[in-house]
Amino acid sequence: MTQVTITSSTVRGFLGTEYFLVKWKGWPESSNTWVPLKNLKCPLLLQYFHSDKNEYLSQLKRGKAVILKNHIKALNPVVAQYIVKKAKQRIALQRWKEELNRKKNHKGMILVENTVDLEGPPLDFYYINEYKPAPGINVMNGITTGCECSDCPAEKCCPEEAGFFLAYNKHKQLKIQPGLPIYECNSYCRCGPECPNRIVQKGTPYSLCIFRTNNGRGWGVKTLQKIKTKRFVMEYVGEVITSEEAERRGQLYDNQGNTYLFDLDYDSDEYTVDAARYGNVSHFVNHSCDPNLQVFNVFIDNLDLRLPRIALFSTRTIKAGEELTFDYQMKGSLDVTSDSDAVSPTRKRIRTVCKCGAVCCRGYLN
């Protein structure tokens, strides 16, 4: 029965034989047929069917079937409709997961999970791995030199050339304070890919899951692996636009309660990253007033201080299955700098209620 795609309803005949209404792959709804259970060779689909049915009935706190006029017991049409929608959602989310993993360029896998509602993949979101500059903005400043180290950072490496300390220790953990920039080795450096000063540029090393939250916060992201403290987790990417364009878009996003605009204000406030339509996994990371991720400015193949890359590092050990969050106001537990020293979201005009649930919750996202 490899052609079965959806089991939408079930009835029990006069002799006790259980039948399932089957949607056949590649055929119109008019070709649906009732098939006895013994002829179905799709245990996973049947498992989904019963699971979805029980989930819906438990939500309603009632599980009585209706009796049709011909005295054949059948599922309530509302229940059958829910099961069909759930099956279609499952297929859509599976295809989205496959698409995300085709497009991502990092080691960790991306999973997708929704056990809360019937919401499917976002319709107007496009996965990217790096900044998508708006016309007229150059996110690569044509750097043509790199360090001459044969053993970074034993010699004069990229951070020292820029007047700062190396950001990582020998265990690839962050050792600098928030507010200080990270200068990694670039494509012109003599060192190879195993250089200890190449961390952010390698992408997310952890497998992550985009999941539907159960408290009205939409999608969220949780780690599927343990993450030690002060480790690089992911990069925040999106469209790079001017601050003027960000103000215009911000007026629209305010009405929707979205918070995807980040000012690149490490040195000035000329540019903003907009991850509303174009972004990576970080697009789905929620805010918390007590976050486990902290933002740092990173420079690799572009040394333009107006255009740092945004990297998220763990502030503490994060358990497998725990949701990842960062403070949209950049006032997390590790931030000992002033607001002007950190990457921060653009100022919002409409106050958005915070649902993070932290003990120290400020009440609003902005």
Which residues are annotated as part of the binding site for S-adenosyl-L-methionine?
Answer: 217-219, 286-287, 328, 355
The CA-atom distances, in angstroms, between 35 and each of 18, 68, 232 are: 8, 19, 52
Q: Which residues pair with 209 in a beta bridge?
A: 111, 222
Which amino acid is present at 237? V
Burial class (CB in 10 A: 0-12, 13-18, 19+), 316: middle
Whole-angstrom distance, CA of residue 357 vs CA of residue 215 = 10
Contacts of 53 (CB under 8 A, 6+ apart): 75, 79, 83
Contacts of 194 (CB under 8 A, 6+ apart): none
8 A C-beta contact, residue 205 and residue 106: yes
Q: Please count the other Cβ atoms lying within 10 Å of the Cβ belonging to residue 270.
A: 15
The residues that are catalytic are 236, 328
Whole-angstrom distance, CA of residue 153 vs CA of residue 141 = 24
Q: Phi/psi zone of residue 281: left (φ > 0), alpha (ψ -120 to 50 degrees), beta?
A: alpha
Burial class (CB in 10 A: 0-12, 13-18, 19+), 31: exposed
Binding site for Zn(2+): which residues? 147, 149, 152, 157-158, 185, 189, 191, 195, 289, 354, 356, 361
Residue 289: which H helix or E strand, with range? Answer: none
Helix axes 43-60, 77-103, angle to 10 degrees: 120
Joined tokens for residue 131: 């900044």
Joined tokens for residue 198: 């190449």
